[in-house]
Structure 1
Amino acid sequence: MQHFYPSFTGSRLCFLPGVFRFSGRFAKTPTFAIVNRCQSININTLARWRVLKAVEQKSAGVGVHKRRASCYNNNLSNGGGSGGRSFCNVDSSSIDIRRRIHNGSSICHWWCTPNRLLAPLLVAGNIATRSSPACVISNYRLTSLSPLLQLLHQLHSLSLFSCGVQQRLFSLQTATMSTYKITEKGTPNTKDYKIYYSGPNGIISPFHDIPLYSNTSKTEFNMVVEIPRWTNHKMEICKEDMMNPIKQDVKNGKVRFVKNLFPHHGYIWNYGALPQTWEDPNFVTPDTNTKGDSDPIDVCEIGSKIHKRGAVIQVKVLGVMCLIDEGETDWKVLAIDVTDPLASDLNDVDDIEKSMPGFLKATYEWFRYYKVPDGKQENQFAFNGEAKNKAYALKIVTETHEQWEKLMNKMTDAEGIRCENTSVANSPYTITKDEAQAVVNNAPDAGPPAELPSDVDQWHYVTKLPCLKLKSAL
């Protein structure tokens, strides 16, 4: 059994194996809470302490943040620390937070509600700087701790949370700003769950109507996020359905979840696709002597934010890896969100190893072994698993965009792919916005999520010597 507890190292927040223990400075009497397998916490024993606040204070003269904690009752009004004040209203359903940070110091809170412990919303000590002295967050709603636990645990597993090793830390994204909106239909975690897209003029296809390029210089790209980091649902743009909604992949009549390959939980990047690209199954790549897999080209967004399922974000391409999946070319573009703090430092594939040491290796190993828990063989790679540089990646993206253009103009066989769109110029597949809207209207209404399979949080362990073996444990 794996547990986690929070600890502080310098100005870094870590999750380490163990148990939450609130005693001494954290509570009036010892109280324990176990966090198992990155799940939400049920802490009835902490109900009498509605708010547990940890205030981060700046040590005089040295610029190092230290943390102290105190316990407050339900009638908490104002509290603060050196250099700042904060106040919050707590009820059983949501947290309303207003935070002001001044003079480079910041405030970090732990909240306890009757059934849930809410971890700090901001995990880095450098939220505000002297050049940006004020930071206000309001009306923030957090109803599940699980994603944050997964995030922090994975960061610890990747050794990115060690003091002095990594200057910029992973953070949570609270919203996606985009010109596109999504409409969820059906029951999540089932075969009828679908995510449809709309633009300013109505329903669109994320495969065909979202432009590949996000700027006029064609140096940045739109990316459709199918799978947020640390999640297991194997979601993808559905080529076979009209208007190409995002759906969960199905095999043998069951929706698919990727296995957790220790030390990772689910996917280790924001995973998705570049719109208006297509790997033509009739095209043989000379460098690999393999044909395309008939999908939009895949993208691994390696930045620090966890993007929402269905988000459309802007990325810049850094490199590409070539997975040979059951004899087909399956390109994996490596990219970073243009708004990420590391974006200015990452301009080619070599920069990834400089700024994120070990990440390329982790990516290679993840793709190599992720099918092994399902009883399959290791995946193979072209170029001995080497990640090719930016120039090569851009060439591949351009090729797949040209292959998509041929598809949309009936210059190649669609082979069961639904090409309906509402905006592609001169395409014979263009339909009216009313026809597109009718597709969404006819889909089942959204419902509450179905129960997840019991093994979704199970961890699997792969040992490579003397031969490949697989072990699993809860």
Structure 2
Amino acid sequence: MKNHWSFFFLALLIYSCQPEAAPADPDAYPARTPNGINVVVEIPAGTNIKIEYQKNSQRFEADQRDGKDRQIDFLPYPGNYGFIPSTQMDKAAGGDGDPLDVLLLCAALPTGTVVEARPIGSLQLIDEGELDTKVIAIPTDATLQTITPEDFTDFSIHYDGARHIIETWFLYYDGLGTNTFEGWLDESKTLALIAHYEQ
């Protein structure tokens, strides 16, 4: 009988130490946090299956092209790709109608992971006539960081090669001429942009 009680208390202790359950809908998270933004990971770094969160079904599913799972016919994603919840790039203002995209620069994280991150800039593209912004961010958790830029200037000086790789990757990953480069925004303009598109 003593062993049964020991097992019961051990199970109770383990259960009480579990983190609070996340919302069923990742898009229910707020866009901004006390130290940055929330990022929902759709596509882990180093993979090439285009996965998107479907709000209606609340599932992460492979994007379809010609009836097949869409694979990026290029180098794998150079970071964890996802979106900022509770944002939307308004079509009426020239956006694509989707949440703001994010490239989270760190080691691969599983699809569905929600991470607090700090924006360090954003890449501005035109994709099929619509503004397509790619926010570049790093996790606020130092144990997840693989690079440590303080801001866009620091990123441009000390990680200029990474910046060029990211720019080139987004210009060519979906075929030559699909995307047009419009420029970079620094971290302060990126934060203002996020606030503008926050729902």
1:220–1:314 contact (8 Å) kept in structure 2: yes
Unmatched tracts of structure 2, length 5 or more = 1-17
Structure having greater relative contact order (Cα 8 Å, sep ≥ 6): 2
Cα offset for 1:179? 4.3
Where 1:366 maps in the other structure, the secondary structure is: helix
Cα offset for 1:234? 0.3
When residues 345 and 230 of structure 1 are mapped into structure 2, their CA distance, relative to the original with a 3 A threshold, is closer
Amino acid aligned to 2:112: G
Cα offset for 1:250? 0.8
2:127–2:178 contact (8 Å) kept in structure 1: no
Matched, 1:394 2:191: yes
Cα offset for 1:249? 0.6
| Structure 2 residue corresponding to 1:259, chosen from 73, 78, 82 | 73
Question: Could you tell me which residue of structure 1 aligns to residue 177 of structure 2?
Answer: 377
Higher helix fraction: Structure 1 or Structure 2?
2
Question: Could you tell me which residue of structure 2 aligns to residue 223 of structure 1?
Answer: 39
Unmatched tracts of structure 1, length 5 or more = 1-176, 181-197, 284-290, 405-474
Distance of 1:340 and 1:359 partners within structure 2: 19
| Structure 2 residue corresponding to 1:205, chosen from 21, 25, 32 | 25
When residues 237 and 336 of structure 1 are mapped into structure 2, their CA distance, relative to the original with a 3 A threshold, is same
Cα offset for 1:397? 0.3
Amino acid aligned to 2:142: D
Cα offset for 1:371? 1.4
Cα offset for 1:354? 3.2
Cα offset for 1:323? 1.2
Q: How does 1:6-405 map to 2 (within 5 A)?
A: 179-180=20-21, 198-199=22-23, 204-207=24-27, 209-215=28-34, 219-239=35-55, 241-242=56-57, 244-261=58-75, 266-283=76-93, 291-303=94-106, 305-340=107-142, 345-372=148-175, 377-382=177-182, 386-401=183-198, 404=199
Cα offset for 1:210? 1.3
When residues 343 and 221 of structure 1 are mapped into structure 2, their CA distance, relative to the original with a 3 A threshold, is farther
Question: Could you tell me which residue of structure 1 aligns to residue 14 of structure 2?
Answer: none
Cα offset for 1:388? 1.1
Q: State the TM-score, normalizing by the size of structure 1.
A: 0.36
Cα offset for 1:353? 2.9
Distance of 2:19 and 2:92 partners within structure 1: 35
RMSD (Å), alpha carbons: 2.1
1:221–1:274 contact (8 Å) kept in structure 2: yes
1:337–1:343 contact (8 Å) kept in structure 2: no
Distance of 2:50 and 2:159 partners within structure 1: 26
Cα offset for 1:357? 3.4
Where 2:185 maps in the other structure, the secondary structure is: coil
Cα offset for 1:230? 0.5
Cα offset for 1:332? 0.4
Amino acid aligned to 2:188: A
Where 2:112 maps in the other structure, the secondary structure is: coil
The higher radius of gyration belongs to 1
Question: Could you tell me which residue of structure 2 aligns to residue 98 of structure 1?
Answer: none
2:36–2:119 contact (8 Å) kept in structure 1: yes
Question: % of aligned pairs identical?
Answer: 30
Cα offset for 1:343? 8.1
Amino acid aligned to 1:235: I
Distance of 1:317 and 1:326 partners within structure 2: 25
1:206–1:245 contact (8 Å) kept in structure 2: no
Amino acid aligned to 2:117: V
When residues 363 and 344 of structure 1 are mapped into structure 2, their CA distance, relative to the original with a 3 A threshold, is closer
* Cα deviation code 1:249-304 (max 9, x no counterpart): 1122111011233xxxx100111100000011112xxxxxxx1101110001113x
Question: Could you tell me which residue of structure 2 aligns to residue 62 of structure 1?
Answer: none
Q: State the TM-score, normalizing by the size of structure 2.
A: 0.83
When residues 360 and 254 of structure 1 are mapped into structure 2, their CA distance, relative to the original with a 3 A threshold, is same
When residues 179 and 323 of structure 1 are mapped into structure 2, their CA distance, relative to the original with a 3 A threshold, is farther
Amino acid aligned to 1:388: L
* Cα deviation code 1:51-102 (max 9, x no counterpart): xxxxxxxxxxxxxxxxxxxxxxxxxxxxxxxxxxxxxxxxxxxxxxxxxxxx
- Aligned residues, how many? 181
Where 2:195 maps in the other structure, the secondary structure is: helix
